[in-house]
Structure formats: C-alpha cells, structure tokens
A and B are shown apart, each in its own frame.
Chain A
Amino acid sequence: MFQSSRFLLKAGRGKPVAVLVGMALIAAACGGDSDDSDAADAETATATAEAPADETATAEAEASAPADGKSTTLRATLPQEPASWNYWEVAANALRFPTFYNVQETMVEVTTAGEIVPMLAEAWTVSDDGLTYTFTMREAKFHDGSDLDSADVVYSMEKNATSPLSKLSAPHQNVASVTATDERTVEIVLTQPSATFLRELGNSAGYVVPENFLEENDANSVMIGTGPYVFADYKPDTSLTFTRFEEYWGEKPYFEVIDWKFVDDETAALNGLLAGEYDFVTAVLAEGIERVATFTEDPEFKVLFESAGEVSYLWLNVNEPAFQDERVRQAIAHAVNREEAIGVYDGYADPTCLMVVPYAEPYNSDYCPYPYDPEKSMALLAEAGFEGLEIDYPFATVASHPFTMEVLTQQLADVGITVNSRGEDLTTWLDKTWEQGNYGMSEIRDSANIMQYGCEGGREPLGKSSTLCIPEFEDKLAVADSFIDNDEYLAAMSDLVKTFADLAWVTVISAPKVPMIMSADLEGIQEVRINNGIDLGAARWAD
C-alpha cells in the first residue's frame, strides 16, 4: 500500500496533464480514420432510423452510397430554434428558414427577380375586375403519401385566414370565398382588388398542407408538406433531419439528407466549420461577423452574402410628446450617420433610407430626405426647443442590436441628445417594448412590411408602437394595394415609401447582408432569400 501510494505520488509529478492528454489521444485514436462525413452519416442514419414520417425515404437514403465518393449528407448549422414547429402559430424566422421551400411549399413562388411563377398551382387566371382567381393545381404528393387536391387547398387557405399570425392571415382579409370547383381547381374570390394578393400566396399565407393537418397531427413537432425534403426527425436543442422526398413532383435534390444542427453560439459554429464538422454555417449575425474576413481569404471556404431580406431601422414611440414635433423627428434622422453605422456589420450592409423589403423591389430608390447632417440636426432641435433631449432606448440583447445601440447612442450624443439605453432579452423586449410600448425609441432589424404600419391600411397593426394613423399616410396606404395594373401599383408604392420616409417616425439605417460560410465546393446556395427561406433544392457538391 505504502509503496504503491509512494509510486503514485512520484508518478503524479507532472503526470496528470499527460494522463489527460493521453486520454484525449486514445479517444482520438479510437475514433479511427473515419472522416467527419462518415460520422455525420452515421449520426443522421441513426436519427432518420427513428423517424416515423417517411421510413421508405429513410431506408433509401441509408442504402444509397455516394456515387462520386462525396457524402450525400449536407451538414449545416442553424443559429436559432423555434419554440414550436407549428407554422400556423409560430412567427419565428427560425421556423421558416429551414422549412420554407424544403418542406413546405406555397401556391405560387416569388423568384429572386421578383417574378411570380407556378409552384403548387401550375396555372391561374385572374378575372378582368381583379376579384376572381382561378387556380389549377398540379399533381403532387404530400410527405404522408396523400395526393394534393383542391380540398387541401381550400382547407389550407381557410386555416391560414384564421391564423393568429398576421403574415398568414392578413393577406386573406379581403377573401370572400374559397371554393373547390373540381378536384384540381380552386376559385378564390376577393371583396376588392389587391395588387399583392397573388404575391402573398408565395409567402406564408400560401402554405398548403393536407386537409385536417392541424386537427389530426401534433403540429408542434411534425410538419407535412409537398417539398423536396421530408421533415424526418427533430431532437430539441440538438438536431433536425430532413430526408429527400423520393416522390417529389419536381426535380429531386442532390443531397439525400440535410443534417441541421442547432448551434446558437457563432463561435462554436465557426469552430466546427474549421474543424470539418459542418459544411455550411447558414447565418452569421453577431460576434462571428469579425471572423468573416478570415474565411473570405481561405481557399477552403466560400462566403456568400445573403441580401434583400431585412432592413435595420430605429423607430420612435408615437405617443412621446417630444416626437409630435416633426422637427425633433427630423433632427434624429439627420443625426444618423449610416456609413458609420454599417460598421456594425463590418461593412456587410448597404446604407438606405427607405423601408423597402425585399430590398430588391422595383420601387426602391436612393431617395433620402434626411441625410446625415449633425449641424442641421442641432439647429432643428434648437428651433423646436428640445436642446438637451433625453430618450429612453431599450434594445434587444441579441444579434447586432447591442452594437448598433452603441453606435446610435454616440451619434445622437454628438448632436446633444442623451440616450438612456437598457438591454433586454428578446422576449422581454418584445413584451415591454413592442407590445406594451414602454420606450422612447428602439432599433430593430426585420422584414416588416410597410403595410403593417397603418391603422387603416387593411392590415392588423403589428403593435401599439407601429400604429401611425396619419391621414396622409393612411390615404396612400389604403389605395396602393388596390391597383390591378402593375405600373400603377409600383408608382403608388414608390410614393408610399417616400411618404413614409418623409414622416421620419422611422429612420431606416441599412439593409444588412447576412454572411453564409460554407465549404468551397458547395454550390447552388442562393444569395438572395425570399420569405426567409433557404432553398436547398439546387445545392450540390462541385464536380
């Protein structure tokens, strides 16, 4: 006993670390020479083996070997995870991002060029008065094996109309009836013409699911659509697995399995990419921005910049007495230096003054009524009698918002405005700032539709903070959507967004681009996302 203990003490001198390193070496060696792709394949095979949704597709995915030696599993990270997968009641982009286009499809598709093309509706006609839309549905199957028919469309449209989410329900507010005229034909009648109705059917409002899907399934953890991938397996906080849908109506995608991992820590995601554990980091939104430049210089990786999805803007509380004077609002707008503010995104953003989302809309322009001019800002404040103005500024402590807060606080301080900033976690911010209106000003980055800023614009206002109710704006908002002629519609929208900028309740700062970092030989990833969905239908390894 004594001898062995003595030996242990002697051996312990400098040895523990060596023992631990030794453990690491043994474990690393035990891993054998299987590459990471194989490991991922094994993991996903295990995951998909548990999936009840599509056992046939799973078996095929497991059985098929990569023809060219490359893995047919794409390993990608997701920065966020939704609270539920119920598309009907969850607003999070985290839900739409992986599932839109891949799992769920819509009536029509809006292309990156802004064109409306067939998706589940292979053809349609619009009556001369712009009130009646007649859709002919294509032959397609749902992931549960059932055929798509007009009854599914009627059910889906009626369900979407009653969703608590304005993105799903608002476009259906002017719908008088949805009727299945035969097995593949659906007629939708509106109460008044709408320039955006058809386009909205290419967004969440046009989701099509099997009849009675919400009543017969646990929509919190199951998703059934017609897309090229089956929602096969979901492990909370861990992974989401899609398997290729072999009965997809369109061209089958290259990858048999999409192995999504939820990695909210960008440092961890980028480290995993460097270590070869992932092929694709789908979005870099916060602290990882600083590392993007190193990936652009590395030939093993490729960086694409997703654009056109969102704009960053600060907006003012419509109930604050100081902001009723338009000179104060204009002074704040003049104080914002957009060129400096995009430094938050390491320059991966375009400065802009208009609330136009998607950013590529044809009615966008370089119109900017209140460019950066600190002298004019100070003069306006003095003229309005609001020198020494103090503003309460709660900000969400996620993504780029804390960094933007620092920049804006300094810029406003430069013109004599004191900003009292306070950080709130996203849910608290949504509750106290967005819902309860406890703020002077705040900043947000999202794809908010300008239509949602009116109180009489035919849409449900987003929150107390965003209800402008200004006649000049309301009048234009009310008529913009009613033009059937596209040129008239574009002219009206151009006028509307300029009016919105003139009012200065909202100061749009920039259209940030989201870096997506991937293996250099990954092709077919779109740089422009529509509706926050990432379409992996064309993704493949380079030959």
Chain B
Amino acid sequence: MLRHTLRSLVTLLFTAIVGSVAVFVLVHMLGGDIVTVLLGKEAGPGDVQFMREELGIDRPLVVQYLDWLGGVVTGDLGTSYGMGYDIFDEIVRRLEPTIMITLGGLLVSVPLALLLGTYSATNAKKLRGGAIDVVAQVGTAVPAFWAGLLLVLVFGVRLGWLPTGGYVPLGEDPVACLRSIILPVLALSLGVTAVFTRYVRTAMIDVLNEDFMRAAMARGRTRRGAALVHGVRNASIPLVTVAALQFGQLIAGAVVVENVFVLPGIGRLIVTATLGREVIVVQSLALVIMLFILVLNFLVDIAYGFLDPRIRDKADSK
C-alpha cells in the first residue's frame, strides 16, 4: 500500500511540473507580453525594452521559469506584473465563487444523476426510461454558455427573479450569495448531470444483471428495491471516478460560466490573465488547478486501494 501511495505521489509531482512547463511554453507562443499590453500602440521601441528589463521578462525563458519555480518551492507564487497583486492572495480571494459554483454543480448533479440514472435503468425497456436517456443525450450536447444565456433571459430578464450576473460573497450576505449562484450552478450542472445520468444508467443496467441482484430478488426483494439497496451502492463506486474526472470538466465549464455571469472567480482570472499576458499568474493558476485535480485523482487512486483489495495487492506485488 505504501509503495502504491508513493508511486502515485511521484507521478503527481512529475505531472504537475510537466504541465506547468507546457503552460509556460504555450503562453509564450501566443506572442506579445505584458509590456505590449501595458504600453499598447503608444510606446517607442526604447521604452518597450526598458520596461521589459524593469520587469525581468527580457531574461532567458529558462531563467524566468526556474525563478518562478524556485518561488513556488518556497511558497511564493510571485506578484502580477500589471496590478502588482500577490498571486497567492488573489487566487485565495477568487476561490470562493469558483468553489461555490463547482461544488454546487456537483451537489446538484450527483444526486440528480443517481435518481434519473437509476430510474432510467429500472425502466430501460419502457418509454419513460428511454425518454430520460434521450433527454440526457441532448443535455450532453448543450453548451454551458448557451444554457447560461437562456437561464439569464428567463429568470433574470423576463421574470426578474434572480440577478443576471455578479457575485456576493457568502460572508457578506448568504441569501444574496445563494441568489447569485443559482443560475451559474444550473448552467454548469446541466451538462454534467446529463453525463452522470448516462453513466449511472449504464452502470445500473450492468449491475441489475449481476448474480447478486438475482439472488436479492430471489430472497424477496422487488426489482426496484434490489436496485436501491444493492444496485445504487455498487453503481456508485465507479461514479466516484467519473465525478473526480468530471471535476476537471466542471472547472473548464466554470471558465465559460464565470464569464457569462461575470463572476470574479478562478475561471475569469484565467481568461483575463491569459489575454493580459500575465504569464506567472497563468502558470500559477494552472499549477494550482492541476495540483487540485491531481490530488483528487491521487485520493481516488488511494481510495481504490482500500475499496478494491485486488488493486492494492497488484500494486504491492510489483
């Protein structure tokens, strides 16, 4: 088990470093830098060079990268070139809206998908079961921004029930906070719910044909009862994996949704920092997100070891 854990940890760190190098290279390939953004069309060539030297972005790329990495190791993500804010503090400040909508998205999606997927599976040969599957398929094809726009038009503009955008921090006004995240959460969770529903449905149909299900029914359980007591539990184990993987999709969706709803979260920061060529902000954000997802997957790996002894034994035997 220890060897399995260590191996996962090393893989995690290696992946994070490779990912941060990839982001660093890609952002530099875009062309332009923070000085281009700051001075725009009004700068003379001498001034551009002077400012690049001032900011230290005239140094070789390898030196710039290692300088940033050195800071990361000592817990310093650096400061932004333009506004001069501390990147770590800014990321922390932006986490709340992003966590609210992504976790909110999961909290809506997972139970809803379990309900819909199970219902669809237990009625797979009936019209209503098939109808849920069709709706779920359509749901996977609906872009989050389009869903967001429709929700805004209906609930924000037409009915005036909820704000069309903006975010109120939880500590400032919990009710206003809830109001401000309902539409983003719905927009974000729509596609994810559809994916989860289809996954639960497939897993549940497989489980329903297992011997232990027939045994349960032979002992007097109804098909629906067996599905609820034994089926959901067994179908939920792989759902944990899918949920962990889908969390990356949720963050990607948050980038879009935060822009549609003008939420000052991590997703919006990624966009503005990329367009503004705040290279170390983009790198730091990418690293934090990668680490978050990798840690999540790492925990899932570890959990597998506990949940399924065959995986643990296989790892230990190598």
Contact = CB atoms under 8 A, between A and B. Distances in A.
Given A6-B224, A427-B275, A268 B260 contact: yes
B85 interface: yes
B250 to A, nearest CB: 17
Interface string A87-107: 001111000000000000000
A238 B97 CA distance: 12
B164 A84 contact: no
B15 interface: no
Contacts of B152: 268, 271
Contact of B32 (A12, A91, A430, A461): A430
A12 B119 contact: yes
B44 A460 contact: yes
Interface in B3-18: none
A277 B229 CA distance: 48
Tell me the dominant secondary structure on chain B's binding face: helix
Contacts of B44: 164, 166, 460-461
* Interface residue range, chain A: 35 or more
A59 interface: no
A81 B43 contact: no
A9 B161 CA distance: 29
Interface string B73-85: 0000000011111
Interface string B219-254: 000001100110000000000000000000000000
B286 interface: no
B21 interface: no
A16 B32 contact: no
Contact of B36 (A89, A271, A427): A427
Given A16-B112, A431-B31, A2 B259 contact: no
Interface stretch (B46-54, B136-144, B205-213, B291-299): B46-54
Contact of B228 (A6, A46, A81, A463): A6
A274 B153 CA distance: 10
Interface string B12-45: 0000000000000000001111101111111110
Contact of B229 (A2, A12, A265, A271): A2
Contacts of B173: 42
Q: Counting chain B CB atoms within 10 Å of each CB, which of A2, A82, A164 scores highest? A: A164
A25 interface: yes
Contacts of A84: 38, 82-84
A221 B38 contact: no
A263 B41 CA distance: 24
Given A91-B40, A272-B164, A9 B155 contact: no
Given A28-B179, A84-B83, A261-B262, A267 B149 contact: yes
A91 B43 contact: yes
Interface string B125-157: 000000000000000000000000100110111
A13 B115 CA distance: 9
A271 B278 CA distance: 30
A153 to B, nearest CB: 23
B101 interface: no
Interface in A369-407: none
Given A165-B43, A263-B165, A16 B116 contact: yes
A237 B82 contact: no
Interface in B50-90: 50-51, 81-85, 90
Nearest to B115: A12
A265 B262 contact: yes
A218 interface: yes
Contact of B264 (A5, A167, A238): A238
B179 A31 contact: yes
A39 B176 contact: yes
B41 A463 contact: yes
A24 B43 contact: no
A523 interface: no
A387 B306 CA distance: 74
Nearest to A13: B119
Interface in B94-118: 108, 112, 115-116, 118
Contacts of A434: 41
Contact of A272 (B36, B165, B172): B165
A71 B40 CA distance: 38
Contacts of A6: 224-225, 228
Ranked 6 nearest A-B pairs via Cβ: A431-B32, A164-B47, A91-B40, A83-B82, A427-B32, A28-B161
28 contacts: A2-B225, A6-B225, A8-B115, A16-B116, A20-B108, A28-B162, A83-B34, A83-B276, A85-B83, A89-B38, A90-B38, A92-B38, A164-B48, A166-B43, A220-B84, A236-B83, A237-B268, A237-B269, A261-B262, A265-B259, A272-B165, A275-B156, A275-B163, A424-B31, A427-B31, A430-B37, A431-B32, A463-B41
